[in-house]
Structure 1
Amino acid sequence: MSTAPGPVQAGVVVDELVRCGVRDAVLCPGSRNAPLAFALHAADVAGRLRLHVRIDERTAGFLALGLARGSGLLVPVVTTSGTAVANLHPAVLEASHSGVPLLALVADRPPELVGTGASQTIAQAGIFGSAVRAAVTLAVARSAADHAAWRSAIDRAVAAALGTLGGPPGPVHVNAPFAEPLVPGDDPVPAGRDNGLPWTDVGRVRRLPPPLPLDPSAPTLVVAGDGAGVDPALLGDTPVVAEPSSPLWAHALRTGPWLLGSLPPPAQVVVVGRPTLHRGVAQLLASPAVAVYAAADPSGLPWTDVPGTVRAVGALPALDPPADWVRWWREADAAGSAALDRALDRLGAPRGLGLARDLVAALPAGSRLVLGSSNPVRDVGLAAAPRPGLTVVSNRGVAGIDGTVSTAVGAALTHPGPTVALLGDLTLLHDTTGLLIGPDEPRPALTLVVLNDAGGGIFGLLEQGAPAHAASFERVFGTPHRVDLAAVARGFGASHTLATAPDELAAALVPEPDGPPGLRIVEVRADRATLRAGHAALAEEIAAAVAAVGATPSQPS
């Protein structure tokens, strides 16, 4: 019998993950997960994977999420037992709802210790509930002869996380109970397949849905949200209203979200991905006068249908809407864009919208842009001109602000070009531990552009921001603070720049020549008090400009 079966099992697990294509792994320090820590460190030293060590499990989970989003590969996040596991839950939920392959590989105490009052021991099996695609508990290692079963279990977990067999990709929980000893001895790791393949090489299953039963020549609008896209060639000249994190955003109308409140609805709408940002889109999809269809997600994620109006789900056929319909939307978009720019150039316009416009325009081709899930992603969707040469990442699965800094770090570490994140001050403060990167860890080249309005600006645009609720708003929704972001940056070893004009912003986005990679914070200050009135004034100006374009083209009865 092996003198240290647990560390041997850990070595087998890490070796099999590498054989399955894992190239990055995130580790949090602990005692019970020591076997996995030693195995991951050895794989990192050997150049078989890249290891990232973090002290905060919630940060680690979102770092793994960002690495997986950026690379498209499965990324494991490894923790010790107890509350360390529970801190992965927010990232697991985001991965589940956005279809990101994530492996929560967590150490546990042997089952005989559960319920006995042993330190750092909880009931970990099933802790993530229905949020995971699969939950596997490895048997406590007793002999290296069991390595085939360990490898097979890892292959099943990887297949579930990647959606290889036709299900949607997402997170998987592997629970690994370890009995002492927890440090490796002289026992060799049993070899896997000689050709470097996984123990069980799982072929990918692909499903082809039937075409949507719609009229390709009808006046059609495509509404696209976060998630998988469709072949743009199928759209032709069809007007598209897309959120920034949609692959179709580069093909979208700039002022589409504003136009929905000013123009009559189309005959039919095709939903692509998961649109969640704009109320105008939600109202359009709920309209009984519109035929709503959903493009099937190629990875198997469920279609979006909040009001229950989708008539069919399937493959998108080539669309060819009437030329006068297309021309009308293009002319309305041009008029709306001109009005938007005139308003944003005036002093006193919402600073977040102007910042979003200027930032997107200033980014060099090949950049990756990470957007916070509060106002920043909405500001880009409402004000920036869609453009090619830019990939946009945003945690829209459950749209929380938690872990945004860590997600951006992971996205930057898997991107060869510039990576910039646009986020609010509360989103930054919610994940300041994401700025904590040890001296021996891979460091990203990442610029964080922070709109600092000293509180929760988005609530001022919601119902609770109405004047009738002014007496309670500031304390319980505005949540003001007096944090010095320059001091925060200095404390974490990041650089800090205060930008007050668009030309200063553009200059701040360019790192110093030949400078080392690292974190940079560019702070832009704003006033929340004028946000609600500013948005309302913008909507009125855009509506007036669109009204001057002329009457809607006739629609078939």
Structure 2
Amino acid sequence: MTTTDSVEPSAATARLLVTTLVAQGVRDVVLAPGSRSAPFAYAAHEAEQAGWWRLHVRLDERGAGFFALGLARATGQPVPVITTSGTAVANLHPAVLEAAHAGVPLVVVSADRPHEWRGTGANQTTDQVRLFSSAVRFDADIPAGVPAGRGLAQIVTRALAAARGVRSAHPGPVQLNVSFADPLTPAHAWQPGPRPEVHEVVSPLSSPSAAPISPGPRTVVVAGDGAGPAARSLAEQGRWPVLAEPTSGARAGECAIGPYRLLLDVPELAARVQRVIVTGRPTLSRPVSALLARTDVEVVVVSPGGLWPDVAGSAERVLPAVRAAGLPSAADEEWLALWKRAGTAVEAALDEHVSGRPLEGLGVAREIWRAGGAEALMIGSSNPIRDLDLAATPGESAPARVLANRGLAGIDGTIATATGLAQGFASPVRAYLGDLTFLHDASSLMRGRLEAESDLQVVVLDDSGGGIFATLEHGEAGRAAHFARLFGTPQDVDMAALAGAYGVRYTRVANSGELRAALAAPLRGRSLVHIPVDGSALRESRRELEAASRAAVRASL
């Protein structure tokens, strides 16, 4: 399989690392080109030629990191991203931080200069060791010329086990910093042979038993990002309302309450909550944060391992898994019915609000939620994810898998992540972004001439700046003089020309009918759907919706 005799040390190290990665189930690798990482580039390419894995080459390291993150989220497997030395490694930091907080198995493989060059003024040489500090679950500094044997393979084994969280239930990014000395090019090509059989070296810990949650208190289940279908099952077992974020994987079924944020704004309903079971990581709404901070509510956090979400320090119990104990009572059924009536009333208010206005965020989000044709829906931070949280009416099942970079909720790398999702799922993906999120990562629309095409539709709500700030305290009338420059930051960009420069199909949308037609078109290749809207009255519009929703909830009680 791999013979290291009379092979240059750098080539032997790279080949062994590639072999070990493949033997432990890695099937995708991302490469950002560079000279110091050349031994990895040759080995990764030759392994691809042998059918061992797929190699994806990306020009920009920041985009490469988020692309790898998207691949890892789609496949559920660790994905290495290979860079050269110097600033190339630092450009991965945003993706590493997102992976750390979202629990994604991203594997940084950073090529380095020989360690004796550090601190000497050598070109493109810096201290890359532990560059990512506490963000990584494991890191190793591998010197140039280390023997390519079992000891080196064991380092890779430990890195992948940490990335998967098999011993900690706390997956996340890892770093392998590998120094290479000259020569960086192998004298002879590598013939990898048949792909190694997958060998599970480290077995995962056994699943914890589920702790019983007794009936009695008026309970809601909060399903944050990544909660998964278990949150829906728990709610249906207990007959409890589930307040599920779009990326929870639990926003479906008869217990899911769509516009829950607006319901929590009504004290007459929210004050009746006696217990909250938190699953996943809630990140979207201040009403949920206020609920979890209340001193008169019992908070139970379900977290399988690692850190658990408890910003207010209110958790009375933190459990790895739970189940509803006993049979639901008539009081439980009445409690669920109360929330469902209130939710239906607010959805009617939402319908009336959206139908009486020109196209804006809530209407766009509703159309995107209803549209089919995509394996996954990638949602940008700021207003798009919050609009979807209000407008997405739960059904028996979600129309697509909904994902977002909610680890740190940044706007960077969203297009790159969506592209990685499209390659990982090998199916069409739709992304819904604001204009600033789009422009921040527009270069990720670029596709190398020799790289595979992605079926990705990017839908951009263009309200000429950071609309979310208009809904916060920064958008108050007394701060209007400086709002546009400091927070709105409107940009003048010809979106059609930008799309054309990257070889992306462009469609401009002016109304709901045109939007529905654009969403119904086949998702083939890369396309941009551009929706310019007037965001000047957004703050007032949302205040009107909140008032109408409060009235609707009170009438339903």
- Scaled to the shorter chain, the TM-score interval is over 0.9
Could you tell me whether the CA contact under 8 Å between 1:209 and 1:296 is conserved in 2? no
**In 2: Cα distance, 1:511 partner to 1:31 partner:** 42
**In 2: Cα distance, 1:294 partner to 1:242 partner:** 15
Residue 113 of structure 1 deviates from its aligned partner by: 0.2
Code of the aligned partner of 2:482 = S
**In 2: Cα distance, 1:503 partner to 1:241 partner:** 31
Q: Which residue of 1 aligns with 2:132?
A: 128
Residue 206 of structure 1 deviates from its aligned partner by: 2.6
Could you tell me whether the CA contact under 8 Å between 2:432 and 2:459 is conserved in 1? yes
Q: Which residue of 2 aligns with 1:376?
A: 384
SS of 1:235's partner is: helix
**Are 1:386 and 2:394 matched, yes or no?**
yes
**Are 1:307 and 2:301 matched, yes or no?**
no
Per-residue Cα deviation, 1:346-392 (whole angstroms, up to 9, x for no partner): 125x711110011111224x631000011111110011212424210
Code of the aligned partner of 1:318 = A
**In 2: Cα distance, 1:415 partner to 1:505 partner:** 25
Q: Which residue of 1 aligns with 2:322?
A: 316
1:498-517 pair list within 5 angstroms: 498-512=508-522, 517=524
1:183-202 pair list within 5 angstroms: 183-186=185-188, 196-198=197-199, 201-202=201-202
Residue 106 of structure 1 deviates from its aligned partner by: 0.6
SS of 1:250's partner is: coil
Residue 242 of structure 1 deviates from its aligned partner by: 1.0
Q: Which residue of 1 aligns with 2:369?
A: 360
Residue 219 of structure 1 deviates from its aligned partner by: 1.1
Residue 511 of structure 1 deviates from its aligned partner by: 3.9
**Are 1:24 and 2:28 matched, yes or no?**
yes
SS of 1:249's partner is: coil
Could you tell me whether the CA contact under 8 Å between 1:28 and 1:57 is conserved in 2? yes
**In 2: Cα distance, 1:112 partner to 1:480 partner:** 48
SS of 2:370's partner is: helix
Q: Which residue of 2 aligns with 1:486?
A: 496
Code of the aligned partner of 1:4 = E
Could you tell me whether the CA contact under 8 Å between 1:4 and 1:187 is conserved in 2? no
Q: 1:137 aligns with which of 141, 159, 173?
A: 141
Per-residue Cα deviation, 1:311-355 (whole angstroms, up to 9, x for no partner): 00112221636221111111111111111101110125x711110
Could you tell me whether the CA contact under 8 Å between 2:377 and 2:403 is conserved in 1? yes
**In 2: Cα distance, 1:216 partner to 1:105 partner:** 49
**In 1: Cα distance, 2:430 partner to 2:205 partner:** 36
Q: Which runs of 4+ in 1 moved over 4 A?
A: 187-192
Q: Which residue of 1 aligns with 2:474?
A: 464
**In 2: Cα distance, 1:23 partner to 1:530 partner:** 48
Q: Which residue of 2 aligns with 1:267?
A: 274
SS of 2:85's partner is: coil
Code of the aligned partner of 1:201 = V
Code of the aligned partner of 2:214 = D
**In 2: Cα distance, 1:29 partner to 1:493 partner:** 22
**In 2: Cα distance, 1:493 partner to 1:195 partner:** 38
**Are 1:546 and 2:553 matched, yes or no?**
yes
SS of 1:313's partner is: strand
Residue 401 of structure 1 deviates from its aligned partner by: 0.4
**In 1: Cα distance, 2:190 partner to 2:64 partner:** 30
Could you tell me whether the CA contact under 8 Å between 1:255 and 1:337 is conserved in 2? yes
Could you tell me whether the CA contact under 8 Å between 1:8 and 1:184 is conserved in 2? no
Q: Which residue of 2 aligns with 1:553?
A: none
Residue 56 of structure 1 deviates from its aligned partner by: 0.5
Q: Which residue of 1 aligns with 2:158?
A: 156
Per-residue Cα deviation, 1:288-307 (whole angstroms, up to 9, x for no partner): 1211111123xx24221111
Which sections of structure 2, spanning at least 5 residues, go unmatched? none
**Are 1:425 and 2:431 matched, yes or no?**
no
SS of 1:136's partner is: strand
**Are 1:59 and 2:63 matched, yes or no?**
yes
Residue 526 of structure 1 deviates from its aligned partner by: 1.2
Residue 137 of structure 1 deviates from its aligned partner by: 1.4
Residue 189 of structure 1 deviates from its aligned partner by: 8.0
Q: 2:417 aligns with which of 400, 407, 412?
A: 407
Could you tell me whether the CA contact under 8 Å between 2:115 and 2:143 is conserved in 1? no
Aligned length: 538
**Are 1:248 and 2:254 matched, yes or no?**
no
SS of 1:91's partner is: helix
**In 1: Cα distance, 2:534 partner to 2:42 partner:** 50
**In 2: Cα distance, 1:172 partner to 1:324 partner:** 48
**In 2: Cα distance, 1:207 partner to 1:268 partner:** 26
Q: Which residue of 1 aligns with 2:536?
A: 529
Q: Which residue of 1 aligns with 2:226?
A: 227
Judge which range, 380-389 or 453-462, deviates more.
380-389
**In 2: Cα distance, 1:522 partner to 1:484 partner:** 13
Q: Which residue of 2 aligns with 1:216?
A: 215
Judge which range, 256-265 or 231-240, deviates more.
231-240
**In 2: Cα distance, 1:160 partner to 1:142 partner:** 22
SS of 1:14's partner is: helix
Could you tell me whether the CA contact under 8 Å between 1:12 and 1:190 is conserved in 2? no
Residue 38 of structure 1 deviates from its aligned partner by: 0.5
**Are 1:475 and 2:480 matched, yes or no?**
no
SS of 2:248's partner is: coil
Per-residue Cα deviation, 1:487-540 (whole angstroms, up to 9, x for no partner): 11000000000112222112212445xx9x421000111122111111100000
**In 2: Cα distance, 1:113 partner to 1:139 partner:** 12
Per-residue Cα deviation, 1:166-211 (whole angstroms, up to 9, x for no partner): 340000000000000000123868999x96244x711111341561
The change in CA–CA distance for 1:296 and 1:283 in structure 2 (over 3 A counts) is same
SS of 1:534's partner is: helix
**In 2: Cα distance, 1:165 partner to 1:370 partner:** 30
Could you tell me whether the CA contact under 8 Å between 1:419 and 1:447 is conserved in 2? yes
Among the aligned pairs, what percent are the same residue? 45
Q: Which residue of 2 aligns with 1:554?
A: none
Judge which range, 133-142 or 461-470, deviates more.
133-142
**In 1: Cα distance, 2:277 partner to 2:502 partner:** 46
Q: TM-score, normalised by structure 2?
A: 0.93
The change in CA–CA distance for 1:142 and 1:267 in structure 2 (over 3 A counts) is closer
**In 1: Cα distance, 2:511 partner to 2:190 partner:** 61
Which sections of structure 1, spanning at least 5 residues, go unmatched? 551-557
The change in CA–CA distance for 1:139 and 1:187 in structure 2 (over 3 A counts) is farther
**In 1: Cα distance, 2:521 partner to 2:82 partner:** 33
